[in-house]
Structure 1
Amino acid sequence: MKGRLASRVALVTGGGRGIGRAISEAYAREGAKVAVLDLKLDVAEECAGAIRAAGGEAMAVQANVADREDVFTAAAKVKHAFGPVTVLVNNAMYNRYGPLDDQTEPMISRMIDVGFKGVIWGYQACVPQMREAGGGVIVNIASPSAVLAMKNGIMYSAIKAAVAAATRSGAAEYGPDNIRVTAIAPGPTQTDGANMVVSEEGWERRRQRMPIGRLGQPSDMANAAVFLASDDASFVTGDMLFVDGGVTYAFS
């Protein structure tokens, strides 16, 4: 399969659902060999199977990104099956909104372990493989809340701000290795998971705030992720791309 990502080996964390799945499928359509990593193996296998049925190459990998050893083991499995990872998408996240006073230590620890430490473990596991391959790309999934105030989202905002900082510093640290580090900040996006917690009225309120007049779809984020991983973005590193219909700057 030929495309903008032909010859790439991509590892997508949280790759079995929502934005992660859209990225996994888009990368496969563009010719990448895709490792769909998810905490739930059946979810990863369903996505990987759909990619293969459509003519792409994909494998399912079960791992908990909060566990450093799990991430290293997963990266080694991908290398054994497909070759060195050359595109890493750090998408996995665990989040609970609410007043900080109501958030427990275990809840906060899990959010940090998945949302930030998981990114760092991904760097440590995959950057050596990228060096071996002669270069690569990391695409982190951040958020507009990394730069905006957010009520009932102190921990989420702080974690995504840390991801944005790790993007900038990662670009500086790994640039000499021909590794680009980028990020996407998705605006309100209608995923299956979001639909479970946001009502139709809630979506409508969000839509009315959008300068572009519509809500985001997983495919919007996937298109941006393809661009950032491709040679079309060969001079882009350290940046966080706001894929948000203009809402961040309209209300900043």
Structure 2
Amino acid sequence: MTTIVKDRFAGRVALVTGGGQGIGRAIAEHLAAEGARVGVLDLNAELAETTAQALRDKGGEAIALTANAGKRDEVFAAVQKLREAFGPVTVLINNAMFNRYGPLEDQTEKTISLMIDVGLKGVIWGYQAVLADMRGAGGGSIVNIASPAAVIAMKHGIMYSAVKAAVAAATRSGAAEFGPDNIRVNAVAPGPTQTDGANLVVTEEAWERRRQRVPIGRLGQPQDSAAAAVFLASEDASFITGDMLFVDGGITYAFS
């Protein structure tokens, strides 16, 4: 069961990219429940608005932001809209990702470009869009969603692994570069996690095979990664930066 710390983010403004569903939505819900004013950014306008409305229905403050996280100008415009609505952004969750698994020879130039644009460039555009706000506020927190694939091999996941390894590197280097401004940068690496989107393409048999590989004996839920991300974004983690927290039931170290 996820623990909510009331008002831990009171007065803070948070942006969650890819916030319309899955882990991103769970993070947005958790932040709003703890008092943050949340911008839910998603390429799918309907998903963004549905999530933002759900947060408002529970008493939170949230707005939907429609943007492609891989497009710098769209990210900057979304952050400006959020800033005008709620104030300077001091929490950033870089969650958006476009991914296609499969043999490398089947990956097209378009697919590979989209994975890099959304999964890696999106992190950089997020950094650039909020740095001035965080510096002006005397600090902030950034949490990137990485993956165990950043450090362990994954069949049919060469590009995904490459992008997530780059995100892990951008996390460490971001922590070093922004630390003097009291801006912390960390990452969460979710293991096999049952999201609505994943359930559309992963069969029950495939989920069971994944579950059997997890030492703790169960699959992850979006709330597991959300709780970790929100902890890292909070002042409870004020002396943690440049780290990557594996939320994977032990699978990374069991198979590395």
Query: 8 Å contact 1:10–1:86 — kept in the other structure?
Result: yes
How big is each residue's C-alpha offset from its partner over 1:104-153, in whole Å with a ceiling of 9 and x where there is no partner? 11110011001000000000001111111111000000000000011100
Paired residue for 1:51? Answer: 55
Task: Within 5 Å, give how 1:118-133 maps onto structure 2.
Answer: 118-133=122-137
What is the identity percentage for the equivalent residue pairs of Structure 1 and Structure 2? Answer: 74
Matched residue SS, 2:200: helix
Task: Within 5 Å, give how 1:77-226 maps onto structure 2.
Answer: 77-226=81-230
How far, CA to CA, are the matches of 1:7 and 1:180 in structure 2?
18
Query: What TM-score do the two structures reach when normalised by structure 1?
Result: 0.99
How far, CA to CA, are the matches of 2:7 and 2:223 in structure 1?
17
Letter in structure 1 aligned against 2:143: V
**Does residue 63 in structure 1 map to residue 70 in structure 2?**
no
Paired residue for 1:75? Answer: 79
Matched residue SS, 1:215: coil
How far, CA to CA, are the matches of 2:203 and 2:56 in structure 1?
34
Query: 8 Å contact 1:5–1:229 — kept in the other structure?
Result: no
How far, CA to CA, are the matches of 1:73 and 1:134 in structure 2?
23
Q: What's the offset of the Cα at 1:2?
A: 4.4
Which ranges of structure 1 fall in alignment gaps of 5 or more residues? Answer: none
Paired residue for 1:231? Answer: 235
How far, CA to CA, are the matches of 1:154 and 1:37 in structure 2?
27
Paired residue for 2:27? Answer: 23
Letter in structure 1 aligned against 2:183: I
Query: What TM-score do the two structures reach when normalised by structure 2?
Result: 0.97
Matched residue SS, 1:137: strand
Matched residue SS, 1:197: coil
Query: 8 Å contact 1:16–1:38 — kept in the other structure?
Result: yes
How far, CA to CA, are the matches of 1:64 and 1:129 in structure 2?
21
How big is each residue's C-alpha offset from its partner over 1:64-104, in whole Å with a ceiling of 9 and x where there is no partner? 11110000111111111110100000000000001111111
Matched residue SS, 1:245: coil
Paired residue for 1:251? Answer: 255
Letter in structure 1 aligned against 2:18: G
How big is each residue's C-alpha offset from its partner over 1:188-220, in whole Å with a ceiling of 9 and x where there is no partner? 000001101110000101111111110000000
Which ranges of structure 2 fall in alignment gaps of 5 or more residues? Answer: none
Q: What's the offset of the Cα at 1:41?
A: 1.1
Matched residue SS, 1:84: coil
Paired residue for 1:39? Answer: 43
Matched residue SS, 2:69: coil
How far, CA to CA, are the matches of 1:118 and 1:148 in structure 2?
23
Paired residue for 1:10? Answer: 14
Runs of 4+ displaced beyond 3 Å: none
After superposition, the CA RMSD in angstroms is 0.9
Matched residue SS, 1:4: coil
Letter in structure 2 aligned against 1:27: L
How many residues end up aligned between the 2 structures? 252
